[in-house]
Structure 1
Amino acid sequence: MAFRNRKAPTTDEFVVVSQGEKGGKYDPSIPAEAYATGFMEFTDTAPTIYHANHYLSKALEEHGFEYLDEREDWTDRLTKGNKFYTTRGTTTVLAFTKGKHWQPSHGAGIVGTHIDSLTCVVKPISIKEPIDDFELIGVAPYAGALSDLWWDRDLGIGGRMIVREGRGITEKLVRIPHPIARIASLAPHFGKFAQGPFNPETQKVPFIGLAKDGKLPEPTEDEKKSPVVGQHSLRLLRALSRESGVPVRDILSVELHLFDTQPAALGGIDKEFIFAPRVDNKACTYSGVYGFIEAADTVVESDSLSVVVAYDNEEIGSRSRTGAQGNILEAAVDRIFAAEDCCPDDAKKAVFWANSFFLSADVTHATNPNFSDVYMTNHKPKLNKGITVTFAPGGNMITNANTSAFVQEIARRTDNTIQYFQVRNDSPTGGTIGPYLASKTGIRGVDLGIAQLSMHSIRATIGSEDIWLGVKFFKSFFNTWREVDLEFQLGSL
């Protein structure tokens, strides 16, 4: 089944299709393949965080969500609708669905992910002198990028440009569609020189072309009107101009990333796998957002408030206005309170957060068959089995006995499978956005996510059913968390 160039299907849509094609027998492979294809389209067509934000914003709009500008007052708008979204910095997106019978004391069911991935960021002044006729470009690693796993990959370039448009200044997305850069390894025949370690500033510099006779082109008088001429390769700026339709003279600033251009693919004998770039954390973001979208119509008729937020900058600590240590979620809650004629004082907000539940959704480690002994027995997440709940007694995760039981009950009622993971005592553990939100607000929650192989590699592996299972789980959470919470009634849960 091919679902490229169309919006992602809904679970109900594919139950109907599979029943029709299989004579009334439900075939789970059909929705799994459809969602796998939808995810692959997402990661292929939205390789930078700016494109991913735009992709998700358009998906929300197509499903009836109304855009709210952070610079404007939302109060009147919120009293006339139920489905909204906002963005911050073209990198973070937040959406919410407000039930007709919701009250602030009911809290909210919230899924938080991060939308940023490991990448190489083009430096503010990236132009470099040619070396042996190679035109080079200066880049800096974002998080764990520019490791040895980035050798010899076909790298594309894209991002956002600040441009003059008429009398105003606006932002424009741009992406060169073919590989433009490469970081060449040194052949092993050179012996010790090819063994490393390698200097990331001087020995991992991408080349983007050949300078004819070692000389770079000169700008025209018209092109010199742009402040970025002389800061970046003129050939690169001209390529960006061709792709965007913006004259070089009108380009005021650029923020560009390098990324793996090899398309995502289904793999394995029976297509059990997805091999893809940027799985961390586009997999949980895609699943979380589409689970949220599919639950929206049910939530609108309920007494619940659903929120999904895809943050930036998790890979570098979340400490930014667009990261989880920023306040986009808390500010949105304050505005929702104000629209309910409910002054968002500290006491009322404390009640709201105490009655809310948060899923910190980030990928976790699937069991690598070549290194099975580095995992704890009974803590070996498998592909195509379902969401994995993660624990870390050192404080890197927010999961505890009460909150994991809460999620397990949701899974039991909705036919979802839960796996569990914790690292060995002799292994380090990563972090997530969960502790930041919990420490700021007092919200209850768990850390969980889709299991993947090769985390922080330029290319990773998940199960081809895992996106479908993620959407199914997140949809179930938004539809049932409130009724489960009312039954638990544990107070300090």
Structure 2
Amino acid sequence: MAPPKAALDFLDFVNASPTPYHAVHQSIARLEKAGFTPVKERDSWSSTLKPGGKYYMTRNGSTIVAFAIGAQWKPGNPIAMLGAHTDSPCLRVKPVSKKSGVGFMQLGVETYGGGIWHSWFDRDLSLAGRVLVRDGKGNFVQRLVKIDRPIVRIPTLAIHLDRSSEFNPNKESELFPIVGLVAAELNRTGKKDETKIPETENNPEETFQPLKNMSDRHHPYILELIAENAGVKVEEVVDFEIVLYDVQKSCLGGLNEEFIYSARLDNLNMTYCSVMGLIESVNKSSLSQETSIRLVTCFDHEEIGSTSAQGANSDLLPAVVRRLSILAGSGGRHGDSVSDKSWEHISSDPDVDLTTAFEQSMAASFLVSADMAHSVNPNYVSKYESNHQPEMNKGTVIKVNANQRYATNSPGIVLLQEIAKRAGVPLQLFVVRNDSPCGSTIGPMLSAKLGVRTLDLGNPQLSMHSIRETGGTYDVEHAIKLFESYLSHYSELEPKILID
């Protein structure tokens, strides 16, 4: 049986997304193809956003929010929200990365997140990220880079030299990659002279450089490769944020291609499914009768606690939904026809109170927090609670924790079951053992920050936080169908689950 098209497109997505910046870029490409248009956070939205419109915005180039506004929207109505994250554990190049030892050229890196670092040894690694460059007009612009050939490697110590029963490398002294030999670099054919940023005689301000030159901080050949990939000259590179990634491409695996072998399944799998769920919801379900807003947000920095301007623990989602909650609906009083004026922050509907529209919207809204879940591992079955052992390709997993490490509760489970029935997709449940630590997600923090009902879920996978993870081929389609159904049917189901 041929694998689902969704799984194959996901492979293209993750292979093109070694960093959060690339993941956002890939998401934008799919959203724009589906008719979504960009808006800027710094601009007023009152005269730009229209009922029935589809929009997206970014923050820092690594976090994205996309939303579709129902044609029947009015202030205080529900917002169906879906949240994921774009980052994964990795090794990041240090601001001063030039190192060498016993004839080897090495690269200074620091750990990002809680990776299984021993899985990064003896892999074919390369560099990707964003570069800030001069554009020749006095501006500094972002360029994405992805070097597609292996140039970096972290070598293990031969077993003959270390008979330890455990492999627990020191992250500061034993995790530095090698990138070449000093002698080979000195004799390299085609080597360019080390490029210094030229001093500008006509502009005294440009003669002073607060930081050391980039070629003093990084190996010149690495700078050359980064600049070449960015399509600029070395001297035009001002700074960069570069990480290491495995050049081995994601692929289908298993006897019947039932597995996905890939880097960054946590959490690009959920990022991809969230974006595609939103796109499918507007393709299959018209916005003409929709009374709510369908919103997807994919944050950066979840793996390190989410406390940043572009993380889930920032003001981003509260600020966006507050702005959306007070945007007036498509018509004036008594169903007047749509006009530009009616879309201002002024409502002629006596039932609408803009001073409490945000609180009313949040009380009626819902957030699905989508972050990958644990599949049962056949070699470590004892690590799983005996009645909660999710399997790959058996459906998306609802995550439950009595201590609110996950925000799921019974009303949310009832809602998701009704959504899954409409989508025709299976669901599973997961609870950790009482003697096991439990991870967490963006769900609890956003639930507390917004006062919104929330449920945590994710597709099951093996080897979470390894450089090479394993997921289910058919779960990609399961999640997209589930998310499409949630976004399409939430406004219909929300009034039927009566709690407060």
What's the TM-score once normalised by structure 1's chain length? 0.89
Equivalent position of 1:475 in the other structure: 484
Q: Distance in 2 between matches of 1:313 and 1:485?
A: 31
Separation of aligned partners in 1, 2:178 and 2:59: 33
1:43-192 superposed matches below 5 A: 43-79=14-50, 82-128=53-99, 130-145=100-115, 147-167=117-137, 168-192=139-163
Cα distance in 1, alignment partners of residues 227 and 21 from structure 2: 18
CA contact 1:46–1:55 (8 Å) conserved in 2: yes
Structure 1 residue 346, shift from structure 2 partner: 6.1
Q: Does the 8 Å contact 2:15/2:249 carry over to 1?
A: yes
Q: Which moved more, 1:343-352 or 1:43-52?
A: 343-352
- Please show how residues 183-262 of structure 1 align to structure 2 within 5 Å: 183-192=154-163, 196-212=167-183, 219-220=193-194, 223=197, 227-262=213-248
Query: What is the one-letter code of the residue matched to 2:131?
Result: M
**What does 1:382-421 align with in structure 2 at a 5 Å threshold?**
382-421=391-430
Separation in structure 2 between the aligned mates of residue 371 and residue 382 of structure 1, nearest angstrom: 14
CA distance in 1 between counterparts of 2:326 and 2:434 reads 47
Q: 2:324 aligns with which of 304, 326, 336?
A: 336
**1:58-83, CA deviations, whole angstroms, 9 ceiling, x for partnerless residues?**
11111100101122222211137610
Q: For residues 370 and 299 of structure 1, what CA distance do their matches in structure 2 show? A: 47
Deviations 1:269-320 (A, max 9, x none): 1111111111000011101110111102425221121000000000001111
Counterpart in the other structure of 1:13 = none
Gap change, CA 1:184 and 1:92, over 3 Å in 2: same
Q: Deviation at 1:337?
A: 3.5
Q: Which amino acid aligns with 2:312?
A: A
Contact kept, 8 Å, 1:120 with 1:146, in 2: the verdict is: no
User: Residues 454 and 238 from structure 1, CA distance in 2 versus in 1: closer, same or farther, beyond 3 angstroms?
Assistant: same
CA separation of 1:101/1:174 partners in 2, compared to 1, >3 Å: closer, same or farther?
Answer: same
What's the secondary structure of 1:152's corresponding residue? coil
Q: State the 1:221 CA deviation.
A: 5.4
| 3-state SS, counterpart of residue 37 of structure 1 | helix
Partner secondary structure for residue 309 of structure 2 = coil
Task: State which structure, 1 or 2, has the greater radius of gyration over its C-alpha atoms.
Answer: 2
Aligned counterpart in structure 1 of residue 389 of structure 2, from 357, 363, 380: 380
Give the superposition deviation at 1:406. 1.4
Contact 2:133 2:143 in 1 (8 A): yes
Identity %: 36
Count, aligned residues: 461
Shift of 1:483: 1.1
Question: Does the residue aligned with 2:101 lie in a helix, a strand or coil?
Answer: coil
The one-letter amino acid of 1:154's match is: D
Compute the TM-score of the two structures, normalised by the length of structure 2: 0.88
Matched, 1:300 2:287: yes
Please tell me the residue identity of whatever aligns with 2:13: F
Counterpart residue type for residue 378 of structure 1: N
Indicate whether 1:291 and 2:298 are aligned.
no
Q: Which amino acid is 2:368 matched to?
A: L
Aligned amino acid, residue 300 of structure 2: D
CA contact (8 A) 2:116 2:467 kept: no
Question: Which 4+ runs in 1 deviate beyond 3 A?
Answer: 192-197, 213-227, 341-346
Mapped partners of 1:331, 1:204: distance in 2 = 40
Looking at structure 2, the residues matched to 80 and 483 of structure 1 have their Cα atoms a distance apart, in angstroms, of 18
CA separation in 2, counterparts of 1:472 and 1:127?
A: 47
SS in 2 for 1:290: helix
C-alpha distance 409-339 of structure 1, shift in aligned 2 (>3 A): closer
CA contact (8 A) 1:75 1:338 kept: no
Gaps of 5+ in 2: 200-208, 329-343, 347-352
Asked if 1:444 is matched to 2:447, the reply is no
In the alignment, the residues of structure 1 paired with residue 228 and residue 420 of structure 2 have an alpha-carbon distance, to the nearest angstrom, of 50
Aligned-pair distance for 1:57?
A: 1.1
Taking a change above 3 Å as real, the CA distance of residues 393 and 42 of structure 1, as seen in their structure-2 partners, is: same
Rate the CA distance shift 1:372–1:220 in 2: closer, same or farther, 3 A. Answer: closer
Residue 466 of structure 1 is matched in structure 2 by: 475
Give, in whole Å, the separation in 2 of the partners of 1:323 and 1:304: 25
CA distance in 2, matches of 1:257, 1:454: 21
Distance 1:206 1:146 in 2: 16
Answer whether contact 2:18 2:245 (CA < 8 A) is retained: yes
Higher helix share: 1
- Secondary structure at 2:73 match in 1: coil
Q: Whole-Å Cα distance in 2 between the matches of residues 319 and 160 of structure 1?
A: 21
SS of residue paired to 1:61: helix
1:241: how far off? 1.7
Corresponding residue number in structure 1 for 2:463: 454
Residues 35 and 213 of structure 1, relative CA distance in 2, 3 Å threshold: closer
Judging changes above 3 Å, is the alpha-carbon distance between structure 1 residues 455 and 221 closer, same or farther for their aligned structure 2 residues? closer
Q: Deviations over 1:83-123 (max 9, x none)?
A: 00000001000000001001232211110001101111111
Q: Is the 8 A contact 1:86 1:93 kept in 2?
A: yes
Distance 1:483 1:199, change over 3 A: same
Deviation of 1:378 after TM superposition, in Å, equals 2.2
CA 1:171–1:412: 2 relative to 1, 3 Å: same
RMSD: 2.0
Of 357, 375, 378, 1:366 maps to: 375
CA gap 1:80/1:396 in 2 versus in 1, 3 angstroms: closer
Contact 2:75/2:326 (<8 A) preserved: no
Q: How far did 1:45 drift?
A: 1.2
Aligned AA for 1:300? L
Measure, in 1, the Cα distance between the counterparts of 2:427 and 2:30: 28
Greater shift in the superposed pair: 167-176 or 210-219: 210-219
